[in-house]
Chains A and B, each alone.
Chain A
Amino acid sequence: MLKIRSGYLKEQMANLSFALPAIVIFAIFYIYPFFKVFQLSLCNWDGISPFVFSQHFVGLRNFKDVMADRIWWESMWHAVYITLIALTFQNALALALALACDQEIRARNFFRVIFFIPPILSEVVVGLIWNWIYDGNYGLLNHWLKILGLHHWAHNWLSDPTTALTCIAVVHSWKGFGWGFIILLAGLQTIPRQLYEAAKVDGANSWQIFLKVTVPLMIPVFILVSILTILGSMQVFILIISIMGQGLAYHTEVPVTRILASMLGSSQFGYACAQGVVFGIVLIILSFGQKRLSRYFRQE
């Protein structure tokens, strides 16, 4: 019995040794930072002086401050606004293009490649190019508006608080629709063609086919795309920094830029980590809400 056990133990140890590198890497790069953020969120630390937990511990004070931080919650609303535009405008565009590319049209492979170009471009490059497009002095957008005789529309898009955030949301949607397009197209291609043919034989028109055949079968894909859109849009920040620099007052602040400002601008690492934890909780709540919603739609 003992012999069997020791043999088994050896075998298990050998197995474990194979898994160990992966476990170590996972622990260092996932588990350690995860716990470190929680630990730092309970401290008042500048990110430079040697970190000693007992010396820097402030309890839940950072969380209390985050809850009372008006600018933080405004930045959360800005991220929600960008997300709402992405969920509607971006995904509607992605679906329309995916439906078009799912038809027997000429050069559809060419279009697939073209539509997938924006997502693979660097966010910094995209941000700088759009900054130039929106520019009030040299901007391409104003130039075209003037050519089209719409002089009164031309203005400084990024320095106007009524348009700055929408400008960012538009660029984010432009940059992100390619992902939705690819996933939705893949989803559309899994729908058996016979269903469309049967619907046609039954006398359904294109709109009815879309509503009664395509949409119900695409619900799991819509859910996947919307979860990815929400998580991606809520965390947008590189694009904002490259378009807006340090922003227009607080009108273009989103949670991640606030976290960066706390961390690098005012060296409040503990506060920044508390913001990170709160933001993580918000994202988890959103994801759970989405999951519940998707379950409801599936049952329907």
Chain B
Amino acid sequence: MSNNKDIILWKHKIIPKIMGIILFVFCSLNIFGCFQPSKSKSQNSPSVGQKKKIVVWHWMTDRHDYFLELAKKYKDLTGVEVVFELYAPSDAYSQKIRAAGQAFTIPDIFGILAEKRDFGAFVKAGHLADLSQELNKDNGAWRKQFVKGALEVNEFLPNNEFGVKPGIYGIPIDIMTIQLLYNKKLFRQAGLDPDRPPRTWDEFIAAARKLRDAGIQGLVSGWGEIWMIYCFATNYAFNIMGEEKVFATFRGEVPYTDPDWIQVFSLFKQLSDENLLATGIVTMVNKKAEQTFANELAAFAFNGSWCVNVYEGMNPNLDYGVIMPPSFSQKYPMKIWGAAGSSFVVNDRSLRKNEAIAFLKWLTMEEQQLYLLKTTKNPPSNKNCLTKISPLLYEFTKQMDNSTHPNIWPAHEFPVVIERFNKGIQSIIIKEKTPEQLGRELQELKEQELKRQKEK
């Protein structure tokens, strides 16, 4: 009888209490933030007597096999094993890096696919090693080997808006610019001179009209990936109002209802109204846009230097030229996006930090850069290799001096405003918004965000 009572007591009172206590302790730890991981060293700590091994995480599917080849070569040379781990697509990779950052399990070398704000957050969280000292060693020998501007995207200047300790936190393995491409064969078909591509916006529109009248689609680009819309729009914003005014807008000093911004949005309206854009451009991912251009279904493409390799794979006979986006205004220079293509950073907590830096030095040396150039056809970050690039790649790299990149801008727009900006331009293209409407909408959102920032 007493035994039965005990059982009931256990079942109904004691066990639920124990479970409740476990849950309470668990939740309390959680809610009061006591689950902070200790700031221990990286998970990949070498044990005594263990062979040296560097782990690299990346997202570059097209380069993985070549990285493996280079890793093999490096092991033969130095005895250090380099393990490249591929995590694709890039969205999944970004998420993995963030999660690993929280768990303090990031590898020795990795890449960051994020805006400068998030890059800065990684630095502030103590994940990234400042490589300035290494770059400046021996009279800046390592630093000097890079193409001008390639290191800037990974650099935080003194008094930067993110409050990050000044320094260079990443090493570029290649460079890129994003420009306008035109199909020479389709130009000829429409009665245009392929040796005289458009230099101004009016010439561009005139050429696109002629192509349209000949039944050829005008401009194609991966505007379903909205950052490419932002790239095209900011190119023209710099050209129409100059850098200072663009940055003043980001700082909240110039409204989006300013006539210059309305002019930028109106360019998209003109392209759409005159039917000068490829069918479905607003939802087209860049891979599909590349297929459209490679299959000669559109005469112009807005794409980055990585496309040289892509087009060669899709259509080796494609005859095309590369030009700067035709300028709308003569008042300010046209600025294109360009800088480091892909960069690697070093885990500051890694016990093999020195080995990781040594590997990056080796990877950016001429021989390895030429190997990557040959296999991936991406312009190398080592300037000594630039003499060996193809004429087409040269067309891309020669504009590095006219290039800019969001990561080197002195002011940045709120991410939510950027999203609304890009989606708003999509709305202009599909004719559901006017440039003026978009300007007002953006300004309203911008003011809300500024207010929220002040409240913080």
Contacts and interface: CB of A to CB of B under 8 A. Distances in A.
B3 interface: yes
Interface string A21-59: 001000100011001100100001011111111100000
A46 B123 CA distance: 13
B280 A137 contact: yes
A136 B423 contact: no
Interface string A260-274: 010011111000000
Contact of B31 (A46, A53, A135, A156): A53
Given A39-B31, A50-B125, A137-B297, A249 B280 contact: no
Interface in B422-456: 423-424, 426-427, 430, 432, 456
A161 B6 contact: no
Contacts of A244: 224, 283
Contact of A267 (B32, B101, B118, B278): B118
Contacts of A48: 98, 101, 118, 121-122, 125
B292 interface: yes
Residue with the highest number of chain B CB atoms closer than 10 Å, among A32, A35, A159, A267: A159
Given A53-B31, A54-B33, A137-B292, A158 B419 contact: no
Nearest to B227: A246
Interface string B18-58: 11001100110011110010000000000000000000000
Interface string B231-245: 000000000000000
Interface of chain B: mostly helix, strand, loop or mixed: helix
A36 to B, nearest CB: 6
A245 B15 contact: no
A8 B419 contact: no
A12 interface: yes
B280 A135 contact: yes
A247 interface: yes
Contacts of A160: 430
A261 B419 contact: yes
Given A8-B6, A46-B121, A48-B101, A156 B33 contact: no
B142 to A, nearest CB: 28
Contact of A245 (B22, B285, B419): B285
B224 A246 contact: yes
A247 B30 CA distance: 36
Interface residues of A, number: 45
A4 interface: yes
A5 B6 contact: yes
Given A53-B32, A159-B280, A27 B121 contact: no
Given A27-B22, A245-B285, A267-B415, A156 B279 contact: yes
B86 interface: no
Contacts of A136: 279-280
A264 B280 contact: no
B26 A8 contact: no
Contacts of A47: 98, 102
Nearest to B3: A4
A39 B34 CA distance: 13
Interface residues of B, number: 55
Contacts, number: 121
Interface string A194-214: 000000000000000000000
B270 interface: no
B95 A264 contact: yes
Contacts of B430: 159-161, 248-249
A1 interface: yes
Contacts of B206: none
Interface in A252-300: 261, 264-268
Interface in B222-270: 224-226
B98 A39 contact: no
A12 B7 CA distance: 10
Contacts of A73: none
Contacts of A144: none
Contact of B283 (A4, A31, A158): A158
A250 interface: yes
A288 B10 CA distance: 34
A125 B51 CA distance: 42
A261 B423 CA distance: 13
Contacts of A50: 36, 125
B64 interface: no
Contacts of A8: 3, 6-7, 10
A66 B2 CA distance: 57
B283 A266 contact: no
Contacts of B125: 48-50
B200 interface: no
B30 A36 contact: yes
Contact of A4 (B6, B31, B280, B427): B6
A11 to B, nearest CB: 10
Given A137-B292, A137-B297, 13 more contacts: A1-B2, A5-B6, A12-B10, A27-B23, A48-B118, A49-B121, A159-B283, A161-B430, A164-B283, A245-B285, A246-B226, A249-B430, A267-B415
Interface of A: 1, 4-5, 8, 12, 16, 23, 27, 31-32, 35-36, 39, 44, 46-54, 135-137, 156, 158-161, 164, 244-250, 261, 264-268
6 contacts: A35-B31, A51-B102, A135-B280, A136-B279, A249-B430, A266-B414
